[in-house]
Amino acid sequence: EWTMAEFRKTKIAEIREQVGDARVICGLSGGVDSAVAAVLIHEAIGDQLTCVFVDHGLMRLGEAEQVVSLFRGHYNIPLVHKDVSALFLGGLAGVTDPEAKRKFIGKTFIDVFEAEAKQVGGADFLAQGTLYPDVIESVSFTGGPSVTIKSHHNVGGLPERMNMKLVEPLRELFKDEVRALGRELGLPDVFVGRHPFPGPGLAIRIPGEVTREKCDILRKADAVYLEEIRNAGLYDAIWQAFAVLLPVRTVGVMGDFRTYDSVCALRAVTSTDGMTADIYPFDAHFLSRVATRIVNEVKGINRVVYDYTSKPPGTIEWE
Ligand code: XMP
Q: By CB neighbour count within 10 A (0-12 exposed, 13-18 middle, 19+ buried), where does 20 fall?
A: exposed
Looking at CATH, the fold of the domain delimited by 211-306 is given as GMP Synthetase; Chain A, domain 3 (3.30.300)
Q: Is 196 in the pocket of ligand 1 (CB under 6 A)?
A: yes
CATH topology of domain 2-192: Rossmann fold (3.40.50)
Ligand 1 pocket test: pick from 317, 318, 319 the residue with the most ligand atoms within 8 Å of its Cβ.
317
For every residue of 143-204, DSSP letters joined together read: TS-S--S---TTSSSTGGG-SSEEE-TTTT--HHHHHHHHHHTT--HHHHTPPP--TTGGGG
CA distance 116 to 125: 12
CB of 151 sitting under 6 A from ligand 1: no
106 lines ligand 1 (CB under 6 A): no
CA of 150 to the centre of ligand 1 (A): 8
Phi, psi of 82 (to 5 degrees): -105, 115
For the chain, domain boundaries: 2-192, 211-306
Binding-site positions read 29-35
Residue 279's nearest CA partner among 246, 311, 242 is 311
> ipTM, 2 decimals?
0.99
Q: 317: CA distance to ligand 1 center in Å?
A: 7
Task: Return d(Cα 135, Cα 155) in angstroms, integer.
Answer: 7
3-state helix, strand, coil in the chain (%, to 5): 45, 20, 35
- Provide the residue-wise pLDDT of the chain in tens; the chain has 319 residues: 568 999 999 999 999 999 999 999 998 888 899 999 999 999 999 999 999 999 999 999 998 888 888 898 888 888 999 999 999 999 999 999 999 999 999 999 889 988 888 887 788 999 999 998 888 876 544 444 456 778 775 554 455 566 789 999 999 999 999 999 999 999 998 889 999 899 899 999 999 999 999 999 999 999 999 999 999 999 999 999 999 999 999 999 999 999 999 999 999 999 998 999 999 999 999 999 999 999 999 999 999 999 999 999 999 999 9
CA of 31 to the centre of ligand 1 (A): 11
Other C-beta atoms within 10 Å of 280: how many?
A: 19
Q: Is the CB of 200 under 6 A from ligand 1?
A: yes
3-class state of residue 252 by DSSP = strand
Task: Convert 178-188 to b/e letters by CB count within 10 Å (16 or more is b).
Answer: bbbbbbbbebe
Q: Give the predicted TM-score (pTM) of the model.
A: 0.89
Q: Report CA(269)–ligand 1 centroid distance (Å).
A: 13
Index of the ligand 1 atom closest to the CA of residue 102: 17
Q: Which residues are annotated as a binding site for ATP?
A: 29-35
Cβ–ligand 1 contact at 222 (below 6 Å): no
**Cα 262 to averaged position of ligand 1 atoms, centre (Å):** 24
